[in-house]
C-alpha cells in the first residue's frame, strides 16, 4: 500500500539509489539531494509521494475488469512465493541473493487445465528468443494464436473490455472484427528498432521476452517466468524492496532481477503475480486503444499501480512494451 515515511540526512545515499527508476531520474534526484537540507529533503519526498494521482477513467475500467475476473490465481492456494534476499542495484547483475526459485509449488494441473491458461501456454514456445532472428510462423502456430483469442473472448473479462471499447468508439461491435483487431495488435510481426526483419511482436515482447545482446527485454508475465525458472533457464537474483509490495493480503506487485541461461541479464523486471492471461490482454489492449502512452497512475482494486504502455504505429497500433508496477513506494 502507499505509505509515507520520514527520512534523515544519513539515509541520502541509500535513498538516491532506491528512488531511481531510470538513470536520468537518479541524476536529477541526486543533484537535488546535494542542494537541499534534510528538512527540505523530507518536503521534496512528500511532494513526490503526493504526486500519485490515479487516472479516473483507466482506474475505473481496469478495476472493473480485475474484480470480475474469477480466473485469477492466489498465492498460498495456487502457488507460493519465496522472495528471499533483496537486490540493491540495477547496475550490478552479478550478485545472487536468492538460492531458491521465486515461484514454487504451482499447481500445474489445476492452472494449465483452465482453458485460457492452457491456450496461453501453447504460445510461449512459438518464438525465437533472440532479436535479429527472423520469425517463421507456422500454420500450427497461427492456429494456436486464434485458439487463444477464441478462448479469452469467451471470458467475462474480455467481453467487458470489448463492450467498453465499442462504447468508446475504439472497436467494432462485431466479435469477429474485434478478434482480427486483437490479432493485429498482439500477433502481427514487426521489426524492432536496430534489428533486421520482422523479429518481434507485442505478445512476444510482453509475455515471452526477447534477447538483445547481453540483455533480456520484455518478459513481464509471471507464468512465463515460472516456466523459464522451472526449466533452469532463469536464475532469480532477488527482489527490489521499493518496488515490491509485501504487506497486501495477496502479494501481487513485484520487481525483480534475473539472468537467463547465464548469458543475458534483466536488471529489473516487473510482474503482476497471479493475473489471468485474459486480464492482462484486456488491460493492455484497453490502455493502448484508449490512447494511453507512457506511464499512468492507476488504481486497480486495492492496488496502487502504475500502468506503462509504449506504442507505435498509426491506425494499426502495436505495443513496444506494456507492464504494471507498484506505485511509487519509499
Q: Is the Cα torsion angle 173, 318, 207, 119 positive or negative in sign?
A: positive
Q: Which residues, in sequence order, are bridge partners of residue 310?
A: 321
CB 136 within 8 A of CB 127: no
Task: State the catalytic residues.
Answer: 205, 220, 266
Can you read off the three cell numbers belonging to residue 82? 519465496
Q: Is residue 191 within 8 Å of residue 312, measured between CB atoms?
A: no
Give alpha helix (H) positions in the chain. 12-18, 23-35, 38-50, 56-68, 108-111, 115-123, 139-152, 156-167, 175-186, 202-203, 222-230, 277-289
Pairing mode of beta strands 253-260, 303-312: unpaired
The span from the CA of 162 to the CA of 154, in Å, is 11
Query: How far is the C-alpha of 185 from the C-alpha of 201, rounded, in Å?
Result: 8
Burial class (CB in 10 A: 0-12, 13-18, 19+), 122: middle
Measure the CA–CA gap between 102 and 52, rounded to whole angstroms: 29
Angstrom distance (rounded) from CA 258 to CA 269: 8
Amino acid at each position: 500500500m502507499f505509505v509515507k515515511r520520514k527520512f534523515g540526512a544519513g539515509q541520502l545515499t541509500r535513498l538516491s539509489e532506491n528512488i531511481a527508476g531510470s538513470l536520468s531520474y537518479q541524476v536529477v534526484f541526486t543533484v537535488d539531494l546535494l542542494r537541499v537540507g534534510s528538512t527540505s529533503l523530507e518536503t521534496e519526498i512528500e511532494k513526490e509521494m503526493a504526486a500519485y494521482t490515479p487516472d479516473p477513467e483507466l482506474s475505473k475500467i481496469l478495476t472493473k475488469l480485475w474484480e470480475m475476473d474469477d480466473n485469477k490465481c492466489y498465492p498460498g492456494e495456487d502457488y507460493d512465493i519465496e522472495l528471499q534476499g533483496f537486490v540493491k542495484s540495477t547496475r550490478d547483475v552479478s550478485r545472487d541473493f536468492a538460492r531458491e526459485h521465486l515461484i514454487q509449488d504451482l499447481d500445474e494441473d489445476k492452472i494449465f487445465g483452465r482453458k485460457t491458461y492452457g491456450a496461453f501456454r501453447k504460445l510461449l514456445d512459438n518464438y525465437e528468443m533472440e532479436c535479429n532472428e527472423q520469425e517463421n510462423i507456422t500454420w500450427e502456430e497461427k492456429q494456436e494464436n486464434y485458439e487463444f483469442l477464441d478462448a479469452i473472448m469467451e471470458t467475462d473479462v474480455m467481453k467487458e473490455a470489448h463492450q467498453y471499447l465499442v462504447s468508446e468508439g475504439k472497436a467494432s461491435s462485431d466479435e469477429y472484427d474485434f478478434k482480427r483487431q486483437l490479432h493485429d495488435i498482439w500477433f502481427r510481426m514487426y521489426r524492432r528498432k536496430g534489428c533486421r526483419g520482422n523479429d518481434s511482436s507485442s505478445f512476444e515482447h510482453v509475455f515471452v521476452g526477447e534477447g538483445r545482446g547481453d540483455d533480456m527485454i520484455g518478459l513481464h508475465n509471471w507464468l512465463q517466468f515460472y516456466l523459464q525458472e522451472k526449466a533452469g533457464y532463469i536464475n532469480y537474483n532477488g527482489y527490489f524492496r521499493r518496488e515490491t509490495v509485501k504487506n497486501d493480503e495477496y502479494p501481487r506487485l513485484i520487481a525483480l532481477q534475473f539472468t537467463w541461461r547465464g548469458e543475458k541479464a534483466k536488471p529489473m523486471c516487473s510482474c503482476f503475480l497471479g493475473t489471468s492471461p485474459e486480464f492482462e490482454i484486456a488491460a493492455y489492449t484497453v490502455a493502448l486503444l484508449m490512447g494511453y502512452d507512457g506511464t499512468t497512475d492507476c488504481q486497480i482494486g486495492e492496488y496502487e499501480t502504475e500502468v506503462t504502455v509504449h506504442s507505435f504505429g498509426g491506425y494499426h497500433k502495436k505495443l513496444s512494451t506494456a507492464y504494471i508496477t507498484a506505485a511509487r513506494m519509499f
